[in-house]
């Protein structure tokens, strides 16, 4: 069993409690199996997944629970749980959970790391340029499609990794080949 809180970025002071329980189950009904004659003693093993939350919908009713049987690898089960938690979060009316009101995005994203540093000298022309940009909650995050990056006045297209709250923009110049 795992217990955790999920927080909406616009309502960070209003977390909702989630509980996820997994149980490995083997069915009682025998199944046909072409490798053995005529049947195996137990059915296929699967994971029984239970997901509960304290979140309420717009009518003040509890959201969920989700109860399902999932077969497959650990990654399949993990992806199922992540998807169902996202589905439950979409059903929660985050603004209607008591005395909470949306918090405004009062601070701009900021550069938390960069290379090379401002004013740094003797940086090889082939060195990568890296900026790590973060946005504090209740920020709405960074829309990387709107970011413009220029190096010495030249517009470049950086590689973008991370999340909308913690993004890394990097550019590696192509090597200069002699003629």
Q: Are strands 129-134 and 11-26 parallel, antiparallel or unpaired?
A: unpaired
Q: How many residues does the chain have?
A: 179
Tokens standing for residue 147: 């970011």
Q: Which residues contact 20 (CB under 8 A, 6 or more apart)?
A: 1, 2, 49, 50, 51, 81, 85
| DSSP sequence for 20-53 | EEEEEEE-SS--B-TTSSSB-SS--EEEEEEEEE
> What is the model's pLDDT at position 130?
93
Given a contact cutoff of 8 angstroms between Cβ atoms, the answer to whether 88 and 81 are in contact is no
> What is the model's pLDDT at position 36?
52
Q: Are strands 129-134 and 166-171 parallel, antiparallel or unpaired?
A: antiparallel
> What is the model's pLDDT at position 170?
92
Q: Residue 29 — very low, low, confident or very high, per pLDDT cuts 50/70/90?
A: low
> What is the model's pLDDT at position 59?
85
> What is the model's pLDDT at position 87?
93
| 55 closest CA partner among 63, 47, 67 | 63
Answer whether residue 16 shows pLDDT above 80. Answer: yes
Residue 118 per-residue DSSP state: T
> What is the model's pLDDT at position 107?
81
> What is the model's pLDDT at position 9?
79
* pLDDT single digits (tens) 47-88: 899 999 988 888 888 898 999 888 888 899 999 999 999 999
d(CA 77, CA 18): 17
Instruction: Say how many CA atoms lie within 13 Å of 47 toward its Cβ.
Output: 19
* pLDDT single digits (tens) 104-162: 777 888 899 999 988 888 988 888 999 999 987 777 788 888 888 888 888 999 999 98
> What is the model's pLDDT at position 18?
92
3 state DSSP class of 12:
strand
- 116-144 burial string, b = 16+ CB within 10 Å, else e? eeeeeeeeeeeeebbbbbbbebbbebbee
């Amino acid at each position: 069993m795992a217990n955790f809180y999920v927080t909406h970025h616009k309502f960070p002071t209003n977390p909702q409690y989630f509980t996820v329980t997994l149980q490995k189950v083997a069915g009682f009904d025998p199944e046909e199996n072409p490798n053995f004659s005529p049947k195996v003693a137990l059915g296929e093993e699967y994971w029984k997944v239970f997901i509960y939350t304290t979140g309420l919908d717009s009518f003040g009713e509890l959201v969920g629970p989700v109860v399902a049987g999932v077969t497959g690898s650990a990654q399949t089960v993990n992806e199922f749980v992540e998807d169902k938690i996202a589905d439950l979060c979409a059903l929660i009316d985050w603004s209607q959970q008591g005395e909470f009101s949306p918090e405004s995005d009062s601070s701009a994203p900021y550069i938390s790391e960069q290379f090379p540093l401002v004013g740094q000298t003797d940086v090889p022309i082939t060195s990568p340029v890296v900026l790590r940009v973060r946005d504090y909650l209740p920020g709405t995050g960074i829309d990387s499609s709107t970011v413009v990056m220029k190096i010495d006045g030249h517009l470049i297209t950086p590689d973008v990794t991370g999340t909308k709250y913690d993004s890394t923009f990097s550019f590696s110049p192509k090597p200069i080949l002699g003629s």
